[in-house]
Amino acid sequence: MKNNLLLLCTIAVGLVALPDPVLAQEPTGKKPISQPLVSHIYTADPSAHVFDGKVYIYPSHDIETGAKEDDEGGHFAMNDYRILSLDKIGGKAKDHGVALALKDISWAGRQLWAPDAAYKNGTYYLYFPAKDKQDVFRIGVATSSSPTGPFKAEPEPIRGSFSIDPCVFADTDGSHYMYFGGIWGGQLQRWTTGSYNPTGKLREKTEQALLPKVARLNADMKSFAETPRDVKIVDAQGKLFTEGDNDKRFFEAAWLHKYNGKYYFSYSTGDTHNICYAVADNPYGPFTYQGIVLKPVTGWTNHHSIVEVKGKWYLFYHDVQLSGKTHLRNVKVTELTHNADGTIQTVEAYR
Ligand code: FUB
């Protein structure tokens, strides 16, 4: 995305050795803690769920299209979704083939980015961001009677949806909430007035950081029950972060899991490449910042999900171990530990 900007900044500081946040390779002398779940295709942004006792992974399907790398993420030019499953953690992952293709989504123009899935009353729902024919990111929904598809897309994106990276959280009372948003290529900065402004600017360092969104879903699972609200992420003093706090502020990759009655909102900090988390007593927040779930991985993006499988918690994530290229990623899984006080043990993907 902003690799050019990073390069310019590096040049601007001359020969002062700033660490390069783009980790093209593992840190010297270290090895990955886990291996790609599949290696015959490139996969990223893994949203994992347990449906009927089995683990299903809803990833982006990365491909090489030759699209030029740019600040808008034009090199992430994916055009279908393929779903993976695992009979058990540590088992062989199965690829269930194409579950939904761009050509079958009537409203979408390009770029099928990070999806998520949910289940209700015999139907599986696949939520996905795509640019519409006007090149504006919207969030669509598709349905299937099987967790692996094929999925049939609704003819229009979800009314009132925008930006990227939907995460649909099923609360214990049966309510479903969609968390979403992403700055830079994810276009969140173009929606600050409530309607689309193609020239909407990113925040200055001293300004309050842009916030992700949450909306409860209607019983039909295909529409918002309310106007999306800001997801406030605050420090221990209850203060919102500024754009300058870019090692902690929200960038993209929202995820929500519930642990011991608390709501854990985790997300990528984008240009500083961490997955961070913040905790609240209810699904709307405010969420109080706690720390880092996952340190930077190889490649530019960092995107994850957190799920409980048979009483243990797992972190699904990606890196670029197979390709060494930012836009050709591979999904992985490792165990995640919640400490007795509810904090999460930070994962270092290379040791
Ligand atoms: O896969 C395309 C985009 O890259 C996702 O939507 C972002 O979260 C980042 O991982």
Taking only the tens place, the pLDDT of each residue in 226-257 is 999 999 999 999 999 999 999 999 999 999 99
**Averaged pLDDT, 165-192:** 98
Q: Is the CB of 301 under 6 A from ligand 1?
A: yes
The DSSP letter of residue 186 is G
Helix (H, G, I), strand (E, B) or coil at 214: strand
Segments making up each domain of the chain, as ranges: 2-336
150 Cα–ligand 1 center, Å: 22
Pairing of strands 152-153, 167-170: unpaired
| pLDDT tens by residue, 47-76 | 999 999 999 999 999 999 999 888 899 999
Residue whose CB lies within 8 A of the most ligand 1 atoms, among 1, 61, 180, 252, for a mutation test: 252
252 Cα–ligand 1 center, Å: 8
- Among residues 137, 136, 130, the alpha carbon closest in space to that of 115 is found at 130
Q: Which two tokens stand for residue 12?
A: 């601007």
Q: Is the CB of 45 under 6 A from ligand 1?
A: yes
166 Cα–ligand 1 center, Å: 11
| pLDDT tens by residue, 244-293 | 999 999 999 999 999 999 999 999 999 999 999 999 999 999 999 999 99
Q: What percent of the chain has pLDDT over 90?
A: 90
Phi/psi of residue 153, nearest 5 degrees: -80, 145
| pLDDT tens by residue, 75-122 | 999 999 999 999 999 999 999 999 999 999 999 999 999 999 999 999
Q: What is the spatial distance between Cα 242 and Cα 263, in angstroms, rounded to a whole number?
A: 23
- Which protein residue has the closest C-alpha to ligand 1 atom 8? 253
Instruction: Report which ligand 1 atom has the smallest distance to the Cα of 129.
Output: 6
Q: Could you tell me how far CA 231 lies from the centroid of its own chain?
A: 15
Q: Which two tokens stand for residue 108?
A: 């979408």
Peptide bond preceding 150: is omega within 30 degrees of 0, i.e. cis? yes
pLDDT higher than threshold 60 for residue 299:
yes
Q: What is the spatial distance between Cα 318 and Cα 37, in angstroms, rounded to a whole number?
A: 10
> What is the CATH code of the structural domain delimited by 2-336?
2.115.10.20
- Among residues 17, 19, 10, 16, the alpha carbon closest in space to that of 247 is found at 19
The DSSP letter of residue 217 is B
